[in-house]
Each structure stands twice: as C-alpha cells, then as structure tokens.
Amino acid sequence: MTAIKNIAIIAHVDHGKTTLVDKILHHCQLFRDNEESGELILDNNDLERERGITIVSKNVSVQYKDTKVNIIDTPGHADFGGEVERVLNMADGVLLLVDAFEGPMPQTRYVLSKAIELGKKPIVVINKVDKENCQPDVVQDKVFDLMFNLGASEDQLDFPTIYGSAKQGWMSEDYNKPTEDVGALMDAVLEHVPSPKVEEGPLQLQITSIDYSSFIGRIAIGRVNRGEVRENMNVVLLKRDGSSVKSKVKELFTFEGLGKKKAESAEAGDIVALAGVDGFEIGDTIADPETPEAMKTIPIDEPTMSMTFTVNNSPFFGKEGEFVTSRHLRDRLFKETEKNLALRVEETDSPDSYLVYGRGVMHLSVLIETMRREGYELQVGQPQVIIKEVDGKKMEPVETLYIDTPEESSGKIIELVTQRKGEMLVMEPRGDVMHLEFEIPSRGIMGLRTQILNVSAGEAIMAHRFHEYQGWKGDIPKRMAGVLIAHDTGTAIAYALNNLQDRGKFFVGPGDEVYEGMIVGENTRENDLTLNVIKTKKLTNMRSSGADDKTKIAPKIELSLEENLEYIDGDEYVEVTPKSIRLRKIHLKEHERKKYAKK
C-alpha cells in the first residue's frame, strides 16, 4: 500500500495559495520539461483568473519520495465557506498560508477556526518574505496568538513554521537562508501531517464534493473512511434524511496530477471519484450493503442574504442573450444547487421570478457572472438580508468589519460606519495605517465599500465576516443621492449629456443605447429625476462663431457587477446580459412609478 498524505491549503484571498500549488506541481515534476503549463494552474475558469480568487475547491495529487500527497486548494473568501468546511473533512493536515507583510487576515481566521474545530494540525507557511518591510517573526507570533484565541489544543499550537516566497519558488525553515526549491515544505508535510486514520470495517465513504462530466453525468468525490471501494461494486447510498438507496459503482477514479486516473480499487485514506451512483447529495454516505453505517452529516452554514432573480423583460430583451425564458432560468438555478451547497432557490408566486439565497453579495455575484458568460439574460433585485424571529424578537445578521486605512481618512470612515449602525470595537495604529474593527449589521455593509474607497482615495482595505444574529438595529439611511432616469428610448447624444452635466454623474456615454426607465446616472440631489439624454441639437442654416466647439463630457462611471448590486434600491433592478450590465427602475413609465410610490 502506498503511503498517503491528505493536505488542504487554507489562506486569505491573495496570499499566494494557488501560486504555491503551482510550484509544488513543478517541484514534483508533474510536467515534462517541454510542456507549457502557464501560471495559476488550478484557477482554471476565467472568472477565477480575472478576480484572482479561488471559488471552487480543487483536488490535485503529486508523488513525493514514495508518498502520494493529495492537495486540496480551498477558497479563501468567507462567502465560499460552504466549500471550505466540506473539503477540510477530506484532509488530515492543513497548510496555513500567511502573508509575511499583512499577517493573519479576517478570512484566515474564518478558515482556520473551521480547521481547528475539526482537530487538524496546521503547518504554518509564511509566504512573501521577499516583500519590503515584512516581519516574518511578528507574523508568526500573531498566528500563534490567533490559534490560541480560537481554542487550539497544545498539539495544534506546537506547529512547525516554514518561510519562503512562492512567487520565487523557494521554501526554507529559516527565512534568512533561501533555498532553490519548495523541498523543505514537502519534507515538512511528510514529517508533520499524520497519515490517514484507517478504521477497521466495511466500506464507508462520505461525499464532500460533486463534479460533472457530460459523458458520465454527476461524479461523487470523497475520501474513503474505511474499507475498500472497487469498480462494479454494489453499495448503498445513505441519505441525509435517513433513507437508503441501493446502487452500484460503475467507474472509479483516483486523483493523479491535475486529472483523474481510472482505478480498479482504492483503500481507506485515499480520495476518490465515483461514477454510477445516482441521486446523491453532499454529506451522503456510500456504504457496504451488508452492514450500512452512515457517517455524521456535514453541518452547512446558513445563507445570510437573498435576491430576486427574474427573467429579463426590458425593451432590450433577447438582443444579446441566448437563454432568456423562465424555463431556462429555472433549470439553471436548480442545477446550480446540486453542487453549490450554500445556495438555496425558492419559487415565488410569479412563474418568472425566483428567490435565491446565498452567503453574501460576492457569492451570488459569482453565480450571476457565470450565468451571464454562459449566455443567460436575467434581472436581479436588491440584495436582502435574511431576518429571523427568535422568541418573538426580530433578529438580523451582524458582521465583524475590518478596515485598514491611512490615518487621515480614519475619522470620515468611522463616521460612515457609525451612520450605518456600526459599533467600533478596536482602533489601533499598525505601521503607517490605522486598523479599525466594527460590529455592523449585514444591511449596513451593502454599498459601504464604494463610499469608503471614495473618502480614502482608494487606499482603504476592507474585509468582513459573519459574526452572529443579534436584535434588529433599526432603520439604516438609504442611498444619499437620487438617480437620473432616461425619459425616452434611443441613443445617448453628446450634446444632451453635455447640457445635463450639472445634474449629476452619468453611467452612460455618447452612443450608448438607453430605454425609458433605465437609470443613466446619479443625481446630485436626493430625489430621482427623469431627463432626456437623446435630445439632439436643433440645426439652423445660420452658424454662430464658437457654437460648434467640441463638447467636453466627464467620462462615464463604470461600476462592477457587485457595485451595481450594492448600489440599487428596492424599486430597481440590475439587468444582466452577456454583453451589458444596466440599471433600471422596476416600473419603467414615470406615471407607474408615481402610482406605486403613493402606495
């Protein structure tokens, strides 16, 4: 039997997790010398590469000194916590990657707390020691303090530390003595990560991830807890609700390198992929039919936010998208729930709208962006936090908010956060920045990032994570400014935009197509204003000197999908198509808006 080590790599967003996996793959000579592999090998979909984040956990496997090392790359963002929690069940040890300059960050804390709860022992990897002004020793102390505060055991606190630079491709036990490769880290994995605990007994395997192949359908991924799984073996699927279904393993794969390799059998401790078992969900157990025994189900974090997804019914409906009907939308959303565990979809009274629940704006925006790239057209309503009632009291989700900002803008930021019912917990200088911590309702965070970036001239760094449900905090002031709404359908004209510049900032530029009821800008005042952006200049046969000077128009403001979702109000939609993202009022005609405003 080959020795096996299962490790998960956990870290905050952008601390170099995926880059480190690249270097491990190269060190273990997974690629031939003449093979082009590129960078960020595991972030294999366009969205992950563009955003520089890992969204879906990935499995790879390398062979190092007669040991098979299964590596699981996990998402670092709290919105994808559902992914992290499950995959940690497959690992026996974790590599905790920390930036030598930034130290442990909010998301590090979130993911690490999950690993400690599950009793995993970490190897701490302090990355980016080649950065200027970094303090690897101070960061190591901070990791120790963090683990102590999270209730780590003595064994967990006695963690080994490896220093290095994943970008430069070296790891060492002493950051003053760079090496040539990442061998020191791999040696630490062999030495400190325990081999899988193998129980005696018949087959038991818990499904922790789902893959999909257009040839063989849904594939279950999980770790063999005990016993042995073989191809064409009769098994029983034990479901979360206690029911059981007889089934058969038609094909069996183990992980090798970046792909899967067909296998005849796999023993306890290895991570495998199974095809042929139907109707499974994450958390179900595949067991021996003679003595079926279910494993403890995986707890899944509850969604904290909901949005209305509806078919696109704007005047530009169907011009850019391929999938536009309510049936397309319904099938796609329910298909997503099969593998996206933290997502829930509910049907509404209208056949064209669905309520989608997720872990945050980021979680839901990734789904919207993916659908948009697949050719879907849809409209999305304002994100709403999920309110609970406990003992007759109204409860709402509260988050811990962390902001690092230049000192001169800290006063304005504190004012912004307290206006949104935030309470300050910590204020301390860290180097040349001020570190602030608050408790704030999830409602208060929506749209806050844009304001904080504005007052700090783009220098503030903001992160937040779910803390707990607390009593309702009262009303939070809405968006300060009203919006500018197009009066007619047509093409925006430079002449009209130029004459209206004193009214506010525009989201459209000359030549952009607009329709009646579409939001074309932000008003300088609090009220909404309807205006004509397609008005052309009256032509006369007289020319006055200077009348035809070129107009100077401020460039249009382009918001990202997340910024749009956080920007809209309750009576507005974000229209999303493969080529465009537009803002619009739900009621396009002005007399309809006035009628509904009175209600």
Position 37 scores a pLDDT of 36
CATH number at residue 27: 3.40.50.300
Average pLDDT along the chain, 599 residues, taken 10 residues at a time? 79 68 73 37 39 50 83 62 68 85 72 82 86 83 86 87 84 82 85 81 81 76 85 85 83 79 83 83 82 76 84 91 91 82 86 88 85 92 88 88 87 92 88 85 84 83 80 81 91 90 90 93 90 80 52 83 86 92 92 81
Residue 223 near residue 210, CB atoms below 8 Å: no
Position 545 scores a pLDDT of 45
- Residue 370, strand partner residues: none
CATH number at residue 227: 2.40.30.10
Please check whether residues 216 and 186 belong to one and the same domain.
Answer: no
- Of the three residues 471, 500, 530, the one that is the final residue of a domain is 471
550 assigned ligand-binding residue: no
14 assigned ligand-binding residue: yes
CA dihedral 161, 162, 165, 169 (to 10 degrees): -160
Residue 83 maps to a domain: yes
Please check whether residues 102 and 17 belong to one and the same domain.
Answer: yes
In the sheet that holds 251-256, the strands lie side by side as 244-248, 234-238, 285-287, 204-213, 217-226, 271-275, 251-256, 259-262
How far is 115 from 273, CA to CA, in rounded Å? 23
Position 486 scores a pLDDT of 93
Residue 412 near residue 393, CB atoms below 8 Å: no
- Residue 205, strand partner residues: 224, 286
How far is 73 from 56, CA to CA, in rounded Å? 8
291 assigned ligand-binding residue: no
Please check whether residues 172 and 266 belong to one and the same domain.
Answer: no
Residues near 39 by beta carbon (within 8 Å), at least 6 away in sequence: 19, 22
Residue 413 maps to a domain: yes
Q: Are strands 204-213 and 504-506 parallel, antiparallel or unpaired?
A: unpaired
Please check whether residues 145 and 262 belong to one and the same domain.
Answer: no
CATH number at residue 449: 3.30.70.240
Structural tokens at position 559? 């918001």
Burial profile 476-487: b = 16 or more Cβ within 10 angstroms, e = fewer: eeebebbbbbbb
| Four-residue CA torsion sign, 264, 7, 258, 75 | positive
Residue type, 537: K
130 assigned ligand-binding residue: yes
Reduced 3-state DSSP string for 367-410:
HHHHHHHCCECEEECCCEECCEEECCEEEEEEEEEEEEEEHHHH
Please check whether residues 184 and 218 belong to one and the same domain.
Answer: no
Residue 338 maps to a domain: no
Helix-helix angle 183-192:17-27, to 10 degrees:
90
Is residue 411 helix, strand or coil?
helix
| Helix (H) or strand (E) segment spanning residue 189 | helix 183-192
Position 530 scores a pLDDT of 93
Please check whether residues 12 and 128 belong to one and the same domain.
Answer: yes
Residue 139 maps to a domain: yes
> Which is nearest to 435 in space by CA: 458, 399, 403?
403
Q: Are strands 217-226 and 265-267 parallel, antiparallel or unpaired?
A: unpaired
Please check whether residues 60 and 125 belong to one and the same domain.
Answer: yes
Structural domain count of the chain: 3
18 assigned ligand-binding residue: yes
Residue 295 maps to a domain: no
Residue 165 near residue 176, CB atoms below 8 Å: no
Residue 366 maps to a domain: no
Residue 479 maps to a domain: no
Structural tokens at position 542? 């007289």
Please check whether residues 110 and 176 belong to one and the same domain.
Answer: yes
Residue 590 near residue 483, CB atoms below 8 Å: no
How far is 39 from 169, CA to CA, in rounded Å? 12
Position 102 scores a pLDDT of 79
Please check whether residues 31 and 150 belong to one and the same domain.
Answer: yes
394 assigned ligand-binding residue: no
Position 54 scores a pLDDT of 39
Residues near 255 by beta carbon (within 8 Å), at least 6 away in sequence: 59, 60, 61, 70, 261, 271, 272, 273
How far is 42 from 56, CA to CA, in rounded Å? 10
505 assigned ligand-binding residue: no
> Which is nearest to 313 in space by CA: 72, 112, 588, 507?
588
Residue 355 near residue 348, CB atoms below 8 Å: yes
Residue 356 maps to a domain: no
Burial profile 194-227: b = 16 or more Cβ within 10 angstroms, e = fewer: eebeeeeeebbbbbbbbbeeeeeebbbbbbbbbb
- Of the three residues 425, 456, 471, the one that is the final residue of a domain is 471
- Of the three residues 454, 471, 488, the one that is the final residue of a domain is 471
Please check whether residues 101 and 14 belong to one and the same domain.
Answer: yes
15 assigned ligand-binding residue: yes
Structural tokens at position 115? 């690993």
Reduced 3-state DSSP string for 49-114:
HHHCCCCCCEEEEEEECCEEEEEEECCCCHHHHHHHHHHHCCCCEEEEEEECCCCCCHHHHHHHHH
Domain region containing 460: 388-471
128 assigned ligand-binding residue: yes
Please check whether residues 188 and 266 belong to one and the same domain.
Answer: no
Please check whether residues 157 and 230 belong to one and the same domain.
Answer: no
